[in-house]
Amino acid sequence: MQIDTHDVLLVIDVQNDFCPGGALAVPGGDEVIAPILRIAPEFEHIVLTQDWHPANHTSFATSHTGKKPFDSVELGYGAQTLWPPHCVQGSAGAEFHPALHLPQAELVLRKGFRPQIDSYSAFFENDRTTPTGLAGYLHERGLSRIFLAGLAYDYCVGYSALDARRLGLPAFVLRDACRAIDLKGSVAAIESEFNRAGVSVADTADLFA
């Protein structure tokens, strides 16, 4: 697969809280770093996303009396899974994993900073309409094909890929450079959505083929 100047590597949420020992650790979360660093030199353009929640964020179980992590509640935009507090603004858990050394990244996009709405996707908040500004940035930069890696495969990576397709952008999820939470069948669910939307699932080795 040939990478060109219109391609962008979108590295999703490789932060301490999503890695082993973190507040919302994805199993094997730090294992995505080696394949990401291996493929990064192939890309002229890299964008990082960073979960960036206020301490009272509505997606935190602690913000809802009697609720515990991984319960679901109905909010104004629909069903919301409740999470342990994580990636709180300015905390060590919100920082990028120290091994993720990508100084060449051209943009760090923070998401999830609005207290009353969660943001899985790099493109839209969970209401599916409030934009993050990433689509406009990519359009102005002439970046039109998206390669995704990071955490978690079945949430923030997956939703970002689906929204890329919704915006008419080819999207390739690099499966071996992602790790999943797999909460209540979420991997099977996101892969079914990939099939419907035309998201391609590839391997980092395909970039060198």
pLDDT digits (tens, 9 = 90+) for 11-26: 999 999 999 999 999 9
Query: Cα separation of 145 and 10, whole Å?
Result: 10
Give catalytic residue positions.
Answer: 13, 111, 156
Give residue 209's pLDDT band: very low, low, confident or very high (50, 70, 90).
Answer: confident
- β-pairing, 78-81 vs 72-75, is antiparallel
Task: Give a yes or no: residue 175 inside a domain.
Answer: yes
Task: Give a yes or no: residue 61 inside a domain.
Answer: no
CA 22 to chain centre: 16
Task: Give a yes or no: residue 81 inside a domain.
Answer: no
Task: Give a yes or no: residue 148 inside a domain.
Answer: yes
pLDDT digits (tens, 9 = 90+) for 45-100: 999 999 999 999 999 999 999 999 999 999 988 899 999 999 999 999 999 999 99
pLDDT digits (tens, 9 = 90+) for 27-50: 999 999 999 999 999 999 999 999
Task: Give a yes or no: residue 27 inside a domain.
Answer: yes
- The model's pTM is 0.95
Sequence-separated (6 or more) residues with CB below 8 Å from residue 175: 153, 201, 202, 203
Q: Name the one residue in this structure whose structure tokens are 């209540």.
A: 184
What would the 3-class secondary structure string for the chain be? CCCCCCEEEEEECCEHHHCCCCCCCCCCHHHHHHHHHHHHHHCCCEEEEEECECCCCCCEHHHCCCCCCCCEEEECCEEEECECCCCECCCHHHCECCCCCCCCCCEEEEECCCCCCCCCCCCECCCCCCECCHHHHHHHHCCCEEEEEEECHHHHHHHHHHHHHHCCCCEEEEEEEEECCCCCCHHHHHHHHHHHHCCEEECHHHHHC
Give the per-residue pLDDT at 76: 87
Task: Give a yes or no: residue 73 inside a domain.
Answer: no
Task: Give a yes or no: residue 105 inside a domain.
Answer: yes
pLDDT digits (tens, 9 = 90+) for 168-188: 999 999 999 999 999 889 999
CATH number at residue 161: 3.40.50.850
Number of domains making up the chain: 1
Note down the domain range covering 185: 7-52+86-208
